[in-house]
Amino acid sequence: MNPQKAHIICKDLFKIFKVADLEVVALRGLDLVVNRSEVVALVGASGSGKSTLLNILAGYDIPSAGQVTIDDRDLIDMKGREMEKFHREEVGFIWQEASRNLFPYLTSTENVELPMLLADTSNKERRERAAHLLNMVGMSHRLSHTPDQLSGGEQQRVAIAVGMANNPSLILADEPTGELDDKTAAEILDLFGEINRVNRTTIVIVTHDPDIAYKVGRVVVIKDGKTSSEISRQDTNVQISGQIDKEIPLQESLLVDSNGRVQIPEDLIETAGITNKVSAQIENHEIVIKPSINSKPESK
Ligand SMILES: Nc1ncnc2c1ncn2[C@@H]1O[C@H](COP(=O)(O)OP(=O)(O)O)[C@@H](O)[C@H]1O
Ligand SMILES: [Mg+2]
> CB atoms < 10 A from the CB of 141, how many?
11
E strands, 111-158, are none
Beta-bridged to residue 173, according to DSSP, are 94, 205
> Which ligand lies nearest to the CA atom of residue 96 in the structure?
2
Neighbours of 210 (CB within 10 A): 8
Q: Are 139 and 161 in contact (CB under 8 A)?
A: yes
Q: Which atom of ligand 1 is nearest to the CA of 15?
A: 12
Q: How far apart are CA 7 and CA 276, in angstroms?
A: 38
The predicted structure's pLDDT at residue 83: 86
Residues in the chain: 300
Single out the residue of 234, 171, 180, 230 nearest to residue 209, CA to CA: 180
The pLDDT tens digits of the residues spanning 168-183 come to 999 999 999 988 889 9
Answering whether pTM is above 0.85, one says yes
Q: Is the CB of 52 under 6 A from ligand 1?
A: yes
Specify the DSSP element, H or E, that contains 73: strand 73-74
Q: Ligand 1: distance of its center to the CA of 15 in Å?
A: 10
**Distance in Å, CA 86 to ligand 2 centroid:** 22
CA dist 211 and 24 (Å) reads 31
Domains defined for the chain, CATH in brackets: 6-90+168-263 (3.40.50.300), 266-300 (no CATH)
Percent of residues, the chain, with pLDDT higher than 90: 61
Q: Which residues contact 289 (CB under 8 A, 6 or more apart)?
A: 264, 272, 274, 278, 279, 280
Distance 236 CA to ligand 2 centre (A): 29
Distance CA 172, CA 39 (A): 10
pLDDT grade, residue 186 (50/70/90)?
A: very high
Closest ligand, as measured to the CA of 47: 1
pLDDT surpasses 60 at 268: yes
User: Which residue's CA lies nearest to atom 26 of ligand 1?
Assistant: 47
Q: Is the CB of 49 under 6 A from ligand 1?
A: yes
Q: Are the beta carbons of 153 and 188 closer than 8 angstroms?
A: yes
Best mutation site among 16, 51, 205 for ligand 1 pocket (most ligand atoms within 8 Å of CB): 51
Give residue 29's pLDDT: 93
For residue 51, how far is its CA from the centre of ligand 2 (angstroms)?
Answer: 4
Which residue has the CA at smallest separation from atom 12 of ligand 1? 26
User: What number does the ligand 1 atom closest to the CA of 27 have?
Assistant: 14
Distance from residue 174's CA to the centre of ligand 2 (Å): 7
DSSP conformation class of 253? E
Burial class (CB in 10 A: 0-12, 13-18, 19+), 178: middle
pLDDT tens digits, one per residue of 100-149: 889 999 999 999 999 999 888 899 999 999 999 999 899 999 999 999 99
Query: Which residues have a beta carbon within 5 Å of ligand 2, which is an ion?
Result: 51
Which residue, judged by its Cα, is nearest atom 5 of ligand 1? 17
